[in-house]
Amino acid sequence: MIAPHIPILRQGQVYKSLDTQTVNKLGSDEPAAEISFACADMIKYDIQNMGSAREALKKFSGEELVEITKKAGELFLNGDLPIGTEGELQSPEDYVFSLAATSGLPHSLIRFNMRRLGGLFGQIDDIFKGLSRGLEWSVLDRGYGEQGGAPVSFSPTTNELAVILPSNSPAVNALWIPAIAMKVPVLLKPGREEPWTPWRIIQAFIKAGCPPEAFSLYPTQHDGSGAIIRRAGRVMLFGDDSTVKQYENDERVEVHGTGYSKFVIGEDEIENWESYIDSMVESVSANSGRSCICTSTIVVPKYGDEIAHALSKKLCEIKPLPQDDPEAKLSGFANPKFAEWIDEAVEEGLQSDGARDITADYRDGARFVERDGMNYLQPTIVRVDSFDEDLALREFLFPFASVVECPQSDVVEKTGYSLVMTAVTKDVEWINELFDHPEIERLNIGNVPTNRISWNQPHEGNLFDFLYTRRSFAFAESA
Amino acid sequence: MTVDEAKAQLDERVREMMSWHFSEETGCPFWLDWKSETGWDPREEVKSYDDIVKFPHFQDEWLRDEKNERFVPNAYKGRPFNVFETGGTTGLPKQRVGWDDYKHDYEQFSEQLSEEFFPKGGNWIMVGPTGPRRLRLAVEHLANVRGGSCYHVDLDPRWVKRLIKRKELDQVERYQAHVMTQAVEIIKHRDISCIFTTPRLLASIGERISISDHGIKGCFCGGTSMTPEYVRFLQEEVLESRAQFVPTYGNTLMGLAVSIPSELPEKGYSVTYYAPQPRAVLRIVDADNTEVTKEYGEYGRVELTTLSHEFFMPRFLERDEAIRRKPHEKYAWDGVGDVRPFGALTKKVIEGVY
């Protein structure tokens, strides 16, 4: 397939910009796509007019939009969908190849994420019920109704949900898909190397009968992203701790930051640690370790060395393989510099006497390796002596975790924020203490890998609460 | 005028300016002292524009470090001068003295404007940096020459640059909104046909009102670089293809390089500017060897030479780069196209802030 032109979508209308960039296939000069770039002022103009996009969605009932969403999921997984501006079609396999060519993700991981995303469309009813705590769709149609016997009314907080998408993780598109059934148009800024997934989802929705006005897609530069963040009514973005801090008092902006997810084993279960190694391996390495729900710190009361060695042995089986190898689980880096920077940061932490790279004893070659013109970071387990070590609470974009010994009684105090915590224990008192801890967003009790989440329970922000606000209301009897 | 005629006219101008600026009766102390210190006489050695490379690059720091009086030509001695400032986010800004140059430049520019879009007798509004800038007087003079009056709304770019450096982007937006409120009020309640502003401010006004619906037919714009896509956006969406967009390239040291607005759509909105030759000359040079002129179609650094009776400035290297473009039938000398900040592709530049 020739390199398609990915245009700007302005409320579904195709717009070919004079400002274009070519994205090449990684490790080659062969173009994978030509992308139209939007200027910041154009985006500002369009945001002002998003009310008409919402009007287009409001013409559909919630039930109709649910059906459209479910159908869109099937089309996303199996359909031949438009790509580019010349009437070309993209098959599911074309999508896999295109995304692999620009993102460095192995085909197997793309297919895994594709299934995960496809499944989400089908669960839209459950997701909405989970997020809204059991609301009927009809309440959004009318604006008011009943929930659990109490009168309720909800009004939208915005005419658009803007999402600044990253280049390294197609699965994050899951965050905005339910907004359509909730009658809120989306305004997406794709990552430079990953226009493929948002584009395909949009096309699936449109083919399933959704009004095109509900979708705006703006590939843009830094100033365009800034315009979106400052102007859109609701914004989701991804960033590090400093980004989280920057927007902590801005109710319009939800930052998905570092997860600092943890796998902890209680004193009552530590003698069985060998039974949990597979769960820990999955938690660290799922999605090539690139999700905020991947474990980055493992906390145990004892056997830290033994666990670090056992994990290292297993994780070192994950090696850089050709992208189309069905066994490939490790992603290359679209931006080769990222791999170098991350490797340097890990090495800096290892300068301390209290931090040791246990995987170095088991893996082939160095952590940083090149293959087929791409840079990879091989899985790494670091045994640290305490939480004071730089690497104890760090998260990187590859399978990386520290193993630290800590008395169970100190876990809550020492671990701080966790997007996901898996606690393997049956100690009721400790479980109650963990449930009482406000800095754990999602808590798994028992042997559940941290990467396994359920869409009907928000683990980081609640989309319904983000997009709707409850009001009180009354009708006069004569009304 | 043919290309050869334009070249002959420029060479003649160069000889005239050498004679003017390096003669005791008419030259200024700065250049006369320079001649004594360097030990060569440009009147003897610079006989054409090609000889201009015998001068070193003019350093704009001289406009800050030297007293303004040293740039007053002896021919103008005793005539009070205007002081125009450029740049100067911090510390003492660079200043240029002047008398009538801005009037000549803008009268010449006025002749290029279409009567359909910039009607004679129509009032103007200027939204942008006023204060000590040449533009403040120049735009008003342009309006007056065309038989209209000019309203002004000020914006202080130095403050905006400081806010951006401090990453206070909310303050930038608030300040811009403050400026916009004033501009929109005037546009709504006064009869205005023409506007001068910067691209960003134009877009910002267009966010608030339909510019064309409020009677504005022509927009003369300058101040920052614009990509073809941005020019297209301003013409087709902000001005709704109903008012004419006239991009210009200029500054206090040069005057005004003009474009050919009617040709923008067919040229893919790529803007080419032509200097007000022979009063000023733009040359696209190799950034690493500035004596070498780049080939047509190539990007290079913009070098400006100003050749007026009031001010002589040889080979000043602008902070911009551009594509060298061929002469046009309307302007028989080189143009500069798709201007952008010098090094835009390799470093971050605070530019286009207002």
Chain A residues touching B207 at Cβ < 8 A: 41, 44-45, 48
Q: ipTM of the predicted structure?
A: 0.88
Provide the pLDDT for residue B352: 43
Q: Which whole number is the average pLDDT over A375-396?
A: 96
* Pair A187, A216: CB distance under 8 Å: yes
The number of helices, as runs of H, and strands, as runs of E, in chain A is 17, 24
Chain B residues touching A41 at Cβ < 8 A: 200, 203-204, 207, 230, 233, 238
- Greatest CA separation found in chain A? 80
Residue from A16, A20, A41 whose CB has the most chain B CBs within 10 Å, to mutate: A41
List the beta strands (DSSP E) in A37-190.
81-83, 88-90, 144-147, 150-156, 161-164, 186-189
Chain B residues touching A226 at Cβ < 8 A: 169
d(CA A160, CA A54): 8
Amino acid (one-letter) located at A374:
M
The pTM score is 0.90
Q: What percent of chain A has pLDDT over 70?
A: 99
Cβ of residue A37 closer than 8 Å to a chain B Cβ: yes
Cβ of residue B349 closer than 8 Å to a chain A Cβ: no
Q: Which whole number is the average pLDDT over A138-160?
A: 94
In order, the DSSP letters of B274-326 are B--TTTEEEEEEETTEEEEEPPTT-EEEEEEEEE-SS-EEEEEEEEEEEEEE-
Instruction: Check which CATH number belongs to the domain holding A318 and give it.
Output: 3.40.309.10
Please tell me which of the candidates A39, A48, A226 has its beta carbon nearest to residue B169. A226
**Would you give the DSSP letter of residue B349?**
-
- How many CB pairs lie under 8 A apart between chains A and B? 37
Judge if A226 and A320 occupy the same domain.
Answer: no
Q: Give residues 196 to 235 of A whose Cβ lies within 8 Å of B.
A: 226, 230
**Would you give the DSSP letter of residue B93?**
P
Chain A residues touching B228 at Cβ < 8 A: 18-19
Judge if A53 and A70 occupy the same domain.
Answer: yes
Judge if A234 and A111 occupy the same domain.
Answer: yes
Chain A residues touching B230 at Cβ < 8 A: 19, 39, 41
d(CA B302, CA B342): 8
Question: Which spans in chain B are helix H?
Answer: 3-21, 29-38, 42-45, 62-65, 101-110, 134-145, 157-165, 169-189, 199-208, 228-232
Dihedral sign, CA of B73, B77, B79, B84?
positive
Question: Is a pLDDT exceeding 90 seen at residue A427?
Answer: yes
Residue B8 C-alpha, separation from nearest chain A C-alpha, in angstroms: 38
Domains contained in chain A, number: 2
CA angle B35–B38–B43, rounded 5-degree value:
40
Judge if A194 and A226 occupy the same domain.
Answer: yes
For residue range A82-137, list pLDDT tens digits in order: 999 999 999 999 999 999 999 889 999 999 999 989 989 999 999 999 999 999 99
d(CA B142, CA B109): 8
Judge if A34 and A178 occupy the same domain.
Answer: yes
Structural domain of residue A210, as residue ranges? 5-257+460-471
In order, the DSSP letters of A267-284 are TTTGGGGGGGHHHHHHHH
Domain for residue A451, yes or no? Answer: no
Provide the β-strand partners of residue A121: none
Cβ of residue A19 closer than 8 Å to a chain B Cβ: yes
Provide the pLDDT for residue B155: 93
Q: How far is CA B277 from CA B111, B186, B291, B308, B318, in A?
A: 15, 36, 20, 10, 17
For residue range B187-218, list pLDDT tens digits in order: 999 999 999 999 999 999 999 999 999 999 99
Tens-binned pLDDT, residue by residue, of chain B (354 aa)? 999 999 999 999 999 999 999 999 999 999 999 999 999 999 999 999 999 999 999 998 999 999 999 999 999 999 999 999 986 566 788 999 999 999 999 999 999 999 999 999 999 999 998 888 899 999 999 999 999 999 999 999 889 999 989 989 889 989 999 999 999 999 999 999 999 999 999 999 999 999 999 999 999 998 678 999 999 999 999 999 999 999 999 888 888 999 999 999 999 999 999 999 999 999 999 999 999 999 999 999 999 999 999 999 999 999 999 999 999 999 999 999 999 999 866 544 444 444
In order, the DSSP letters of A170-230 are GGGGGGTHHHHHTT--EEEE-BTTB-HHHHHHHHHHHHTT--GGGEEE--B-HHHHHHHHH
Domain for residue A439, yes or no? Answer: yes
Domain for residue A454, yes or no? Answer: no
Cβ of residue A44 closer than 8 Å to a chain B Cβ: yes
**Would you give the DSSP letter of residue A331?**
P
Instruction: Check which CATH number belongs to the domain holding A135 and give it.
Output: 3.40.605.10
Chain B residues touching A230 at Cβ < 8 A: 169-170, 173
**Three-class secondary structure of residue A160 per DSSP:** coil
**Contact check, Cβ <8 Å, B173/A18:** no
With CA atoms as reference, the chain A residue closest to B206 would be A45
Judge if A181 and A162 occupy the same domain.
Answer: yes
What backbone torsions phi and psi does residue B124 show, to the nearest 5 degrees?
Answer: -120, 160
Provide the pLDDT for residue B224: 74
Judge if A185 and A326 occupy the same domain.
Answer: no
Domain for residue A84, yes or no? Answer: yes
Chain B residues touching A18 at Cβ < 8 A: 227-229, 232, 268-269
User: Side-chain half-sphere of A157: how many Cα atoms within 13 Å?
Assistant: 18
Please tell me which of the candidates A18, A45, A48 has its beta carbon nearest to residue B232. A18
Q: Which whole number is the average pLDDT over A53-64?
A: 96
Domain for residue A170, yes or no? Answer: yes
What backbone torsions phi and psi does residue B327 show, to the nearest 5 degrees?
Answer: -60, 155
Judge if A190 and A53 occupy the same domain.
Answer: yes
With CA atoms as reference, the chain A residue closest to B232 would be A18
Provide the pLDDT for residue B348: 45
Judge if A434 and A405 occupy the same domain.
Answer: yes
Domain for residue A148, yes or no? Answer: yes
Structure tokens at A220: 């843009």
What backbone torsions phi and psi does residue B318 show, to the nearest 5 degrees?
Answer: -70, 165
**Contact check, Cβ <8 Å, B200/A39:** no
Domain for residue A450, yes or no? Answer: no
Amino acid (one-letter) located at B234:
L
Question: Is a pLDDT exceeding 90 seen at residue A241?
Answer: no
Provide the pLDDT for residue B346: 56
Cβ neighbours, 10 Å, residue B262: 11
Judge if A390 and A286 occupy the same domain.
Answer: yes
Judge if A310 and A346 occupy the same domain.
Answer: yes
The CA R_g of chain B, rounded to the nearest whole Å, is 20
Chain A residues touching B229 at Cβ < 8 A: 17-19, 37, 39
Chain A residues touching B206 at Cβ < 8 A: 45
**Contact check, Cβ <8 Å, A18/B207:** no
Cβ of residue B343 closer than 8 Å to a chain A Cβ: no
**Contact check, Cβ <8 Å, A45/B206:** yes
Residues 6+ apart with CB under 8 A from A140: A62, A154, A182, A183, A468
- How far is the first Cα of chain A from the last one, in angstroms, to the nearest whole number? 61
**Contact check, Cβ <8 Å, A230/B173:** yes
Provide the pLDDT for residue B349: 42
With CA atoms as reference, the chain A residue closest to B228 would be A18
d(CA A152, CA A150): 6
Cβ neighbours, 10 Å, residue A293: 21
Cβ of residue B354 closer than 8 Å to a chain A Cβ: no
Judge if A267 and A223 occupy the same domain.
Answer: no
Cβ of residue A239 closer than 8 Å to a chain B Cβ: no
Domain for residue A477, yes or no? Answer: no
**Contact check, Cβ <8 Å, B228/A45:** no
Provide the pLDDT for residue A458: 67
**A290: pLDDT confidence band, cut at 50, 70 and 90?**
confident
